[in-house]
Each structure stands twice: as structure tokens, then as C-alpha cells.
Amino acid sequence: MTLGTALLSCTALGLQHGIDWDHVAAISDVTSVQRTPREAIRCGLLYAAGHAATVGLLGLAVIMLRQSLPDALSVWMQRIIGLTLVLLGAYVFGVLFSGGQMVSRGQAIAALLHRRSEAGSGYGRKSSLSLGVLHGIGAETPTQLSMLMIAANIGRVQSGLLVLVVFAAAMFASNMVLTTTATGIFAISRPKPQLFRLLGACAVGYSMWIGIVLIAS
């Protein structure tokens, strides 16, 4: 594969990876609980940055060592993420339909991670960044694995690093498009409580389904 072909392929892979199922689930939660569109965009940006940074570090290790992460580690990290999604999703569904104040998985994980009032104000910036890092470690989708394979076998280290940077940049751009779209949808629906609650339930249901898939795969 030529360098030009590799760069084009990894650009396409990065754009696709940015809207993979785990990103859609996470970003929908992150944006749904913010008080303002600006804060939603900011938290989505931190999620994307955390994920891109982790993928970059993993890619650098693969390029330098010519060896991917142990399969057993990837599998267990994936299952841990899946279990977290299922448990937090179940908690959120209980809140949604018990007459309490609607919260999303983002608020629940914020309470678990930080144990402070941040959970009451929405999914915070640190939580968004933490989730992005976690997803970068534990959810190696086909698009990410394909990029790592190309980067490791392109030849020169410089070429592998360039491939990695292009993938990360395309993924970040795709994440931000997804963040902007989700922010707009929730901002429009917020004045309509029933619609907002329905969208929240759909987002959490999707998160639980993704969690089950990650555990079972």
C-alpha cells in the first residue's frame, strides 16, 4: 500500500470511527444533560480529545513495538465498559420511570467517579474526558483495528505516525459533527418535556444495548 492510499484510507476510517456505535452512545449521553449548548459542545470536545489522545498513544505503541495490545486485555476492557453501560443504563431507566428527575448515564457515572455535586449539574468536563479515554482503551472497533494494522505495516516510522495523525484528526472532526448534531437535537427538544424524556429514554436504551453487545462479543 502506498502512503497516499494509506492516508486516504485512514481518513475514511477516522471519519467512520467518529460515528461508531460507542461514540454515538457516549456523546448522546454527554450532550443530553448539559444546561447550555455551549457546555454540551465543550464536554463533547473533551470526550473526543480524550479518545483521540488514547488512540494516539496506543497507535504510537503499536508503531514503535510492531505489536498490538494483548487480546486478553482488550477483551476484558471491552467487557468492563459493557458492564458499566448496562448497570448505569438500568439505573437511569429506573429514574426515568419512577417519577424522579430525569438523569442520563452521564450523571450517574459522574456521581460514581467524582462523588460530589457535579452529578446534580450534569455530566461534567472531567467525566467526559475520562469516558473518552476509557473508550479509547477498551473498545477497539474494526475501524480502529484497521488503522492500527495500516500504521504498523506501512513501513517507515514517520509514515506510520502520519497515518495515525490523519486518522485521529478525522475521528476528532467526525466526533465534533456528531456532538453538534446531538446538541442541537436536545436543545430543540428541551422545552418539550415529553419529547425530551422520550429522546433521553432512547439514548439510554441504545447505551444499554451497546453494553450487552460489548459483554457478549
Q: Please report, as a single letter, which amino acid is at residue 213.
A: V
pLDDT score recorded for residue 116: 43
User: Residue 14: what residue type?
Assistant: G
Portion of the chain with pLDDT greater than 90, in percent = 10
**Rg from Cα positions in the chain:** 18
Full residue range of the structural domain in which residue 90 is found: 3-216
pLDDT in tens, 26-74: 788 778 767 788 888 998 899 999 988 888 888 887 777 766 556 666 6
Question: How far apart are the C-alpha atoms of 86 and 88, rounded to whole Å?
Answer: 6
Number of domains present in the structure of the chain:
1
Q: What is the pLDDT of residue 119?
A: 40
| 21-30: pLDDT as tens digits | 778 877 887 7
**Mean pLDDT of all residues in 174-191:** 87
Which of the two residues, 138 and 151, has the higher pLDDT score?
A: 151
CA atoms within 13 A on the CB side of 74: 13
For residues 51 and 84, the model is more confident at 51
- Model confidence at 177, pLDDT cuts 50, 70, 90, reads very high
SS (H, E, C) 124-174: CHHHHHHHHHHHHHHCCCHHHHHHHHHHHHCCCHHHHHHHHHHHHHHHHHH
Cα gap 136→130, rounded to integer Å? 10
Report the pLDDT value the prediction gives residue 112, as an integer from 0 to 100.
Answer: 47
Q: Dihedral sign for Cα 66, 71, 77, 78, please.
A: positive
> Is the pLDDT score of 209 beyond 60?
yes
